[in-house]
Structure 1
């Protein structure tokens, strides 16, 4: 059965925050999710949560914190929402395209000011709803555009995935 949600756990398996994907699947199942699977070891969970999805996301955050001793935001979308974000990607077919999924829509003024900034490597930015679209022409590793910079400017947290991973998640969730 297809998964109804793509759940993105922020910043795992980087900077000492280890979260084995088997443990993530077990936690999700323990919380009542069905159709549980993961994709690559970077906090990508596909599942059908029980009941309210926001409540599930918050419960998953708490369970990860309780079990592993660190807090990480959980952001989820439907496969259609991520497919729509991919379709709205304004920079064409670029090799270093990213989507940064936000916990909420930033204020219009903050988004406009942020997207007009020059970060020095030719990054192109666009906020569409709850998603920040990014083109890193020199690759994400060469940018000064960090999560902290994004979140301070926009006033909301989030987590990023490249376009290939985002498309693969949609495909797997719909399979």
Structure 2
């Protein structure tokens, strides 16, 4: 069955090997992993014979070679390890081969450029929210800027008080007497 899978993939399977940059020796040749499966990771004899590596890839809770393991648990173990292998190949081979990282960086730069191009719009939105007293916006303002805003408010109130006192007192001499 595994040979049919390898034949159906053709040369694409070897291209994946060229891009693999992970550290697990069991995954360096995809054909080999397809043939041996999780035994290549967890069976010390298979690892030694095929990879020349002693020990297992990670500590496992069950011995899949044991005849006392329920078939359902063995199947679950095999499926979980195939999913882990798929994740490994996606991370350390497929994404590089597909240029996924470059694509993501290009898209991110495009989003940043679009955001910057509409800088005036975003400034207007932020100003409107500020004037409306949006509490979510105020929560995002850094602490050092919040204190300046409150100092400005106190300063403005003191200025208004000064104007009111000047209006109340007709002459500067009276102002000094009350002030």
User: Which bracket does the TM-score occupy, shorter chain normalised?
Assistant: under 0.3
TM-score (norm 1): 0.19
Looking at secondary structure, tell me which structure has more helix per residue.
Answer: 2
The structure having more radius of gyration, on CA atoms, is: 2
Looking at secondary structure, tell me which structure has more strand per residue.
Answer: 1
Q: Which has the higher contact order (CA 8 A, sep 6+)?
A: 1
